[in-house]
């Protein structure tokens, strides 16, 4: 049964924000839901899910060995949701990859579709550095590294093959097994009704205008910031001050040097131009 909707993105691209919108839309309550609403469905790279369902300790395996089991993990999750006749929404930071057995990590036979969130890599860089409490230069290097990974090691999440910012996008663009809808973070901010409506229709949910607008208000960035301030948020890293930090467009201008901007733009040029971050004259649009 194709009942998994993958919510894919490079880190810090609006994935968690959308999950809060989706929770508010599905529950359709008048007041904003708490951040706990999106904690019940763990990220696709959850080591807890892996150990509970596969029955192996992922920290005793290599990343490649873990990837051999991940398609089976998602099959089991899909089958559990099928018993309840429900859709499973899974946050994903992995690039779309094939394991050593030649199997895609995300099996076509259980995947309904993918919503892919794209954000200007310059803003991603700054937000990612804040989130991981690391130096900006480190994230500049990561965003242009085709061998970049997340997680792994002896604790936390499973190893995720990340690739560069553009490599991550291209991995999901180049596959044809799972339908993908690409949405820009900037459009979610500037034209939320249109952007969220397109997503709702794509994933096959019933569209109700009043319900949509209410969910947008209840998942507004300032609302999420206040909820985190009051009760914290489990997805915030230990040394990060806030998960929901600034969320604005063009924040990179206050943090990146001209050389850092140039490195990211030069490496990511074609993909940035494709998604409207660079205009036809080669000038940054934000």
Pick the residue with more confidence: 125 or 232? 125
Residue 270 pLDDT > 70: yes
Nearest of 161, 138, 159 to residue 148 by alpha carbon: 161
Q: What is the pLDDT of residue 111?
A: 98
CATH homologous superfamily of 4-120+146-220: P-loop containing nucleotide triphosphate hydrolases (3.40.50.300)
Residue 195 pLDDT > 80: yes
CB of 75 within 8 A of CB of 110? Answer: yes
Q: What is the pLDDT of residue 50?
A: 97
Q: pLDDT grade, residue 237 (50/70/90)? A: very low
Q: What is the pLDDT of residue 109?
A: 98
Residue 169 pLDDT > 70: yes
Distance between start and end Cα atoms, the chain? 42
CB-CB neighbours of 228 under 10 Å: 17
Q: What is the pLDDT of residue 238?
A: 45
Dump the DSSP string for 177-228. Answer: SS-EEEEEHHHHHHSHHHHHHHHHHHTTPPP-HHHHHHHHHHT-HHHHHHHH
pTM for this predicted structure: 0.91
């Amino acid at each position: 049964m194709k009942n998994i909707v993958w919510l894919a993105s490079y880190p810090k691209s609006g994935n968690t924000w959308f999950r809060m919108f989706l929770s508010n839309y599905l529950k359709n309550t008048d007041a904003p839901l708490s951040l706990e609403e999106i904690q019940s469905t763990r990220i696709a790279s959850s080591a807890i899910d892996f150990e509970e369902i596969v029955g192996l300790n992922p920290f005793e395996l290599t990343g490649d060995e873990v990837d051999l089991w991940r398609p089976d993990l998602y099959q089991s999750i899909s089958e559990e949701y099928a018993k309840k006749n429900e859709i499973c929404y899974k946050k994903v930071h992995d690039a779309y990859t094939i394991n050593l057995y030649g199997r895609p990590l995300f099996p076509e036979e259980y995947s309904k579709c993918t919503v892919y969130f794209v954000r200007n890599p310059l803003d991603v860089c700054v937000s990612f550095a804040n989130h991981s409490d690391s130096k900006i230069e480190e994230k500049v290097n990561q965003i242009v590294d085709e061998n970049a990974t997340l997680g792994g090691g002896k604790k936390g999440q499973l190893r995720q093959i990340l690739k560069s910012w553009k490599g991550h996008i291209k991995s999901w663009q180049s596959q044809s097994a799972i339908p993908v809808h690409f949405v820009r973070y900037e459009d979610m901010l500037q034209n939320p009704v249109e952007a969220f409506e397109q997503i709702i229709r794509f994933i096959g949910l019933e569209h109700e205008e009043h319900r949509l607008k209410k969910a947008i208000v209840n998942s507004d960035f300032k609302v999420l910031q206040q909820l985190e301030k009051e009760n914290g948020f489990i997805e915030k890293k230990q040394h990060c001050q806030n998960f929901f930090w600034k969320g604005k467009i063009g924040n990179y201008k206050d943090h990146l040097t001209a050389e850092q901007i140039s490195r990211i733009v030069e490496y990511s040029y074609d993909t940035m131009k494709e998604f409207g971050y660079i205009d036809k004259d080669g000038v940054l649009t934000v």
